Chains A and B, each alone.
Chain A
Amino acid sequence: MTATARAPWVQSERFLQVVIPLAVGLVLLGAWEAVCRAWDVPEFLVPTPTRIAATLAADFGMLMGSLWVTLKITFLAFALATVVGTLIAFAFAQSRWIELSFFPYAVLLQVTPVAAVAPLVIIWCKDTTLALTLCAAIVALFPIIANTTLGLRSVSPGLASLFRMQRSSRWQTLRRLQVPSALPYWFAGLRISCGLALIGAVVAEFVAGTGGQGAGLAYQILQAGFQINIPRLFAALALISATGVLLFWGMLAATRLALGSWHESMAKQER
């Protein structure tokens, strides 16, 4: 709080958090450009950043269309995983027996590679969007289940005794104690899962290999690879990475909004 009054704006935490990574990025891109030019690296091996940017601008319409397809699947999968994962976690937290019976299968879901399951899902589901959404949701599901279950169980023993002494109902304990206690864990799960949903969406599309109208970024990468259009491949790759970073930042902002007022991890350090 006092930092803004005392220190110049250059030292403000937020400014540093944005500017320093940005500066590092620019330096690295500059070095990349310089190396490619100095050694005359052929475009089909490593294109220069400026070439990639030019391709991104030239193919903007097509790439944005694909990005939209990938984003749609990512968001649908993330939403599905969030709802299903949270519900499963609630069931686990309500009864040891349910957790004991089903947790191993949740793990099974996590350790089975989505690339191996995707062909089956695609055969079973007529609708491609649904199939891809399911595959991506499977990838994103486990962190939400594991984190939320842990959170619902991580109630301070003192507060639990207090609620017991006040003879609170199961519902009251859940709503007033377990859910707020679990929120930081839930958000931690969401932060991991939003990235996984994107990865799942891309991987599933690779496996599905769908083209035409509903082609996502994975399809663009595949096509660009076949055509040895490496600048476009890089452009698609850059879009996927940028999307992942933005998703993560979005979740971080949401976490800060929800927990900022009370949780230690989100509280500003007083100096």
Chain B
Amino acid sequence: MLAPNRNHAVPVVEALSACKTYGNGTQALAPTDFTLMPGEFVSLIGPSGCGKSTLLKLVAGLLSPTDGRLRWWRGGAEALDEPGRRLAFVFQEATLMPWARVAENVRLPLDLHHVARTEGDARVATALARVGLSRYARHFPRELSGGMQMRVSIARALVTEPDLLLMDEPFGALDEITRNRLDDDLRRLWSERGLTALFVTHSVYEAAFLSTRVVVMAARPGRVFKEITIDHDGPRDAQFRASPAFAEICRTLSDALLQASLASGPDQFETDAEVQP
């Protein structure tokens, strides 16, 4: 389903020898080539310090590469935000405005782009319905559970009808049952909307469940270690989670992750982690 056509389609994102060294000398990402095709769901996994968050932030345009470059739909960052080239980012935390009600939080990207009131109302309602929170539009974030706040955050990302959805360990802080449910929702949204998604996670199970392709990264310096394509055409549901095929994918990913850890440079205190600039 939605198999990317590598021959004809324009890649959504290309990193061309992009590398990132922070001001304190930490090489977070060695020169890296990376391509994301339309309709792909790619997960980035790897030990801490492997630069997966850095790569995601480069793709989001939140960081600029020290050297090399990034292209979005074969163009520069200035063409982003045009119809067909929208991207949305979901953070590790829900990152909601505590003073604004759920509906106002979801509406924020539309307000910043001066979308008309009535059109905005309709789109907010649709986005909230998609994440199953229509009843909570008038609530404040602090009145919601962690999982519900995360769903608001996803609704805020979806409300712009993004073409590329970037997520930085969005469900890392949630319990397993909530996380599985959100993964189900996310996978369903992705297949319904024909999104392209780039997803950073610590969990091989999450990566195995969601992805069409998994990029395993190694640390010190941060780099792409291995890419694993997941060819599973059947539906991804609870049955898939319990299937031998899923267990096999998880084992492959775990092995690759272990190798990546062994291939990572020595864990020195001062060079550890994706240090913020």
Partners in one complex: yes
- Residues in B with CB closer than 8 Å to A159 are 95, 97
Answer whether residue B89 sits at the interface, using C-beta atoms and an 8 A cutoff.
yes
Find out whether the CB atom of B142 lies under 8 angstroms from the CB atom of A162: no
Find out whether the CB atom of A165 lies under 8 angstroms from the CB atom of B95: no
A162-B81 in contact given A180-B99, A183-B99, A262-B99 (Cβ < 8 Å) = no
- Residues in A with CB closer than 8 Å to B87 are 165
Find out whether the CB atom of B89 lies under 8 angstroms from the CB atom of A267: no
What residue in chain B is nearest A172 (Cβ atoms)? B112
CB distance from A179 to the nearest CB of B (A): 10
CB distance from A257 to the nearest CB of B (A): 14
Find out whether the CB atom of A162 lies under 8 angstroms from the CB atom of B98: no
Scoring B residues 96 to 128 as 1 if CB is less than 8 Å from chain A, else 0, what string do you get? Answer: 011110000000110111000000000000000
- Partner of A262 from B89, B111, B113, B140 at Cβ < 8 Å: B140
CA gap between A164 and B95 in the complex, in Å:
14
- Residues in A with CB closer than 8 Å to B113 are 166
Contact-residue size bin, chain B (C-beta under 8 Å from the other chain): 20 to 34
A162-B61 in contact given A167-B81, A262-B140, A262-B142 (Cβ < 8 Å) = no
What residue in chain B is nearest A184 (Cβ atoms)? B99
- Residues in B with CB closer than 8 Å to A263 are 98-99
CA gap between A156 and B140 in the complex, in Å:
17
What residue in chain B is nearest A166 (Cβ atoms)? B112
What residue in chain B is nearest A180 (Cβ atoms)? B99
CA gap between A106 and B81 in the complex, in Å:
43
Answer whether residue A158 sits at the interface, using C-beta atoms and an 8 A cutoff.
yes
A264-B99 in contact given A167-B81, A176-B108 (Cβ < 8 Å) = no
CA gap between A162 and B168 in the complex, in Å:
13
- Residues in B with CB closer than 8 Å to A156 are 95
Answer whether residue B206 sits at the interface, using C-beta atoms and an 8 A cutoff.
no
CA gap between A200 and B52 in the complex, in Å:
57
CA gap between A261 and B92 in the complex, in Å:
25
Scoring B residues 236 to 267 as 1 if CB is less than 8 Å from chain A, else 0, what string do you get? Answer: 00000000000000000000000000000000
Scoring A residues 61 to 90 as 1 if CB is less than 8 Å from chain B, else 0, what string do you get? Answer: 000000000000000000000000000000
Q: Identify 6 new A-B residue pairs, CB closer than 8 A, beyond the known A166-B113, A167-B81.
A: A162-B89, A164-B62, A177-B97, A180-B100, A262-B98, A267-B142
Shortest 8 CB-CB distances between A and B: which pairs? Answer: A158-B95, A166-B112, A180-B99, A262-B99, A168-B112, A158-B91, A262-B98, A262-B140
Binding site for B on A (CB under 8 A): 156, 158-159, 161-168, 172, 176-177, 180, 183, 259, 261-264, 267
A-B contact pairs, 23 of them (CB 8 A): A156-B95, A158-B92, A158-B95, A159-B95, A161-B62, A161-B89, A162-B91, A162-B95, A165-B62, A166-B108, A166-B112, A166-B113, A176-B112, A180-B97, A180-B99, A183-B99, A259-B99, A262-B99, A262-B141, A263-B98, A263-B99, A264-B142, A267-B142
